[in-house]
Structure 1
Amino acid sequence: MTEYAQVRALIAVRLSDMTDVTTSPLRQRDAGEGQAARIGARIVGYATDLDVSATKTTPFERPELGEWLRRPDEYDVIIWWRLDRAVRSLADMEDLARWAKEHRKRIIFAEGAGGTLDLDMSSALGVSDIIVRLLAWAAQMEAQAISERVSGARATLRAQGRWPGGIPPYGYTPVPRDGAPGLTLVPDPAAVAVLEQLMVDIVDGAQPHTLAMELNAAGVPTPRDHDDVRRGKAPRGRTWVGTTVKSVATSPTLLGYHVHQGKPVRDGKGRPVLAGPPIVDRERYEQVRAAVEELAAPERRERKDTNALLLGVAHCATCDGRMYRYSANSGRTVVYGCRAHARGRTCDAKASMRADWLEEWTVAQFLDVLGSLPVTRVVRHPGYDPGPELMEVMGELRAHMGERARFKSTTGRQMWQETADALEARAAELEATPPAEAREEIIRTGKTYGQLWDSADTAGRRRLLIDAGARVAVSPSKGRGGRVTRLDESRVSFDVGSHADPAREALESVVREENE
């Protein structure tokens, strides 16, 4: 039986500054040992050069690595954590590649932007080909390093409450800080006006995609186009969509928070770092968020592309399902009918009725009951509930707890503990904050239902019916055939929510006073 010698691995470790936690010797050794295990190699030694600069020494001049390179017969592969642990210049890279080619060694760099780089110098590749591969890989590493440095710098600026640059959140514009370097954010009056109107409309029940169409029709620039104009660039004519409306109207940036990757940036005490003055208070913010969630509920979705006046109003009395407007009798008649089967449900006795009859009767009932009454809108104030932010903090704390095992050094664990302490302190502060009770405010529009009905289109009238709580139940036909020439009122019933009648209330007040 032929026996194959196990691959022998040398792990090379280099550190320029002993205080650099991010490239600690332990981290480099762990990466090297992991690669040795991956290729099934036996570790024969460690070349550990600490406080040694790669820009001032070549691999051959380093105390420990230089000694190992002069004894090439003792190992088959050299493993570095990353390319910059081995070389920092093209000349040193070329010399190392020529040496490895001459001695038929395998070189592995465990980590980099392109993943692990495994170079087998015993292959037919020429030194020039190897250098090209190394250069390409090194370029990826440098790009990643630049990205990491930029991300780190931006994170530092965010933690200081300074704007790190880029496209500002909609509603804000960057300006120089007073008496301090860098930029900060202040409300942008034009964008704030758009946001305030969007929030009013959303709370009033308007659908985000409808608001997007209105913004497009009015020529309001999208957030990206708005920023292009701010920077003196020509806008590209982007269009608003419903998701953009929801995003800008419910973004935590409206509270003045610095937000990174969807989460508020927090200071050393766990409090959100402010990027600028809040555009809305927490109460209004939660009110808008609640309205968006309510609009997204399936039972609240309203079609805008239909002429069905009674969609969401007319229901089958048998199964309580919605009735839909469609053509029957080969298109000769338009009816409202129960479509339970189309929605995966069953109905033992489906109801249907001519659309014009049912609509005319419903409108007459609605205007008779409510036509002269004033229209009021109920604005719901959810109050202040520390719960949402507490949930955010607890989610961040839970995720942070899962990261503890990654930190091996004392410095790293200290940094981890500082963040954990800050999040826990903020959680305790929120837990001790009493919530403010939710309340409802009734606002009079100054118009009656009849006046609004006369000026509204089909969609607006349908909205009036639904908001007023109008509901029509239609029973199945009792007839035995034959031609039906008018609506059978015994098959329909109309109901509407309770509404205040000022005249009646005044009369009742007078009666009460006289009886006292």
Structure 2
Amino acid sequence: MRGTTMNEVERPYDGCGKCLLGVRRLSRVKAATTSPERQREDVLTAAAAVGGHIIDWADDWEVSGATDPMTRPKLGPWLRDERGKYDGLVAAAVDRLGRNVVDCLNTGYKMRDEGKLLVSYGHEGVWNLDDPNDENRFTMEAWGAQMELRAIQRRNRDATKKIRAAGRPKGKPSYGFRYVRTVPNGRVERVELHPHAAEVLRTVASRILADPENVSPSSEAARLNRLGELAPVDHLAVMYGKPAAGRPWYPTSLRNMLLSEAAMGYLVHQGKPVIDRSGKPVRLCEGLWNRTTHNALKEILCARDTPFRGRKSNRSYLLTEVAVCGQCHNRLFTQTSADAPPRYACTVRNKGWRNAQHCRPAPNMRVANLDALVEAWFLEKFGHGAIMETVYDAGNGVADRIAEVEASRKRLRSDREAGLYDAPDDAQWYRERYSELSHELRELENEPQRPPGMVQRPTGETVADRWTNAPDVQARKEILLDFCVRVTVYPASAPVRWVPGLLHGPDRDPQQHGDRTPKR
């Protein structure tokens, strides 16, 4: 029956009693693989051999055989009766159902108990699990698939240990790095920084270090989403020639990347650097930053015991955190309706706020009009000014090397206290390494140091340039917040409708307006 055409074996559900679901699975999909086509031909042949036809395909690509069929992305919904009617399953082999004896038997018994057909290529007819011979054969094929899976897992573990002991990476590169191979799909020859991804992560780190009170992983994740930067998973997919799925940046994953020691170019296993025979971390390549910067990020990102009160990144209007009411001095909100343009308005008296009891008439002004007025005033006043950025300077590197040596000594002490160097030979190695590190530390402490800290440097652009190049309203709002701009709006009956200014001095209320200082 090989060579059966699609028109003969593939057609919609018709209630004939042999409307089968084609099951295909592959752990790794590569450009050169022909497995999907071969599985398709085998499934069509097996379906035709029992007089059935394929109504749909449950294709689980990049899905391990160890995954329970009930939880597989494509097959799972069918087994949970979430996709519609079908009369059974047909697979190219038992191991396409799964590589676990229990999972295969559960799937087979589910088909039997529900009166559905179970077919696989290479087995004559439909599997009858009520027949001891068929049941034993099905179990043996599932057991063989499981034994093959265990052998693959053992080989992978052994290979991983050997590669790690040799100081070479295995698996996926961390965001900001890329693998260089001289032969496609060959061994990794070296690791290097990815030009664009490294700059993205360095920019995030510098923004957080420069303004930890107002910039957080949450606000940076929102900023990267607005800019359309590929999330790490999509970035990795594109690097390997696969399409991006449009996944967003998440604050937790961004924070973990900033705190990971892999960002310093180290080979990391289970969250910790791999140590070589000299007691130092294995370095794969130049890091995104050094130990001093890592410690600074760690101090900032791990020290927040109170909820972050930074900038909101989901406000789509320019002045929602900038404009205040001239009557009650509360922030203005935006009013929108289907039959009128959006307005900035003071609505707190209607909400029953005690400090706004006498706010009448409450001011309001069209969003487009006030935005245009504020933009013209801001660019006229500050547009020609040169922008100075605040960046973190790690110093002359001596402090970073001291931190590296101290971290290595601390690691050795922790391992010794855990009982890893109790054997006589190991104890002698520990003393030698610890002595070498202590001697290196004393020499470094005698060298002149330029301490790390925040410095300002010119960016080469003006305020008007940054305003013009801002990708969206939120980016422009952040510029206004950096300059601590406050716009006071008055009712239409007042002599002046609006007054721009800067938030400085004792009049500044950090609870209401945030603790921001101009960095320009």
TM-score, scaled relative to structure 1: 0.48
* TM-score, normalised with respect to structure 2: 0.48
Rg larger for: 1
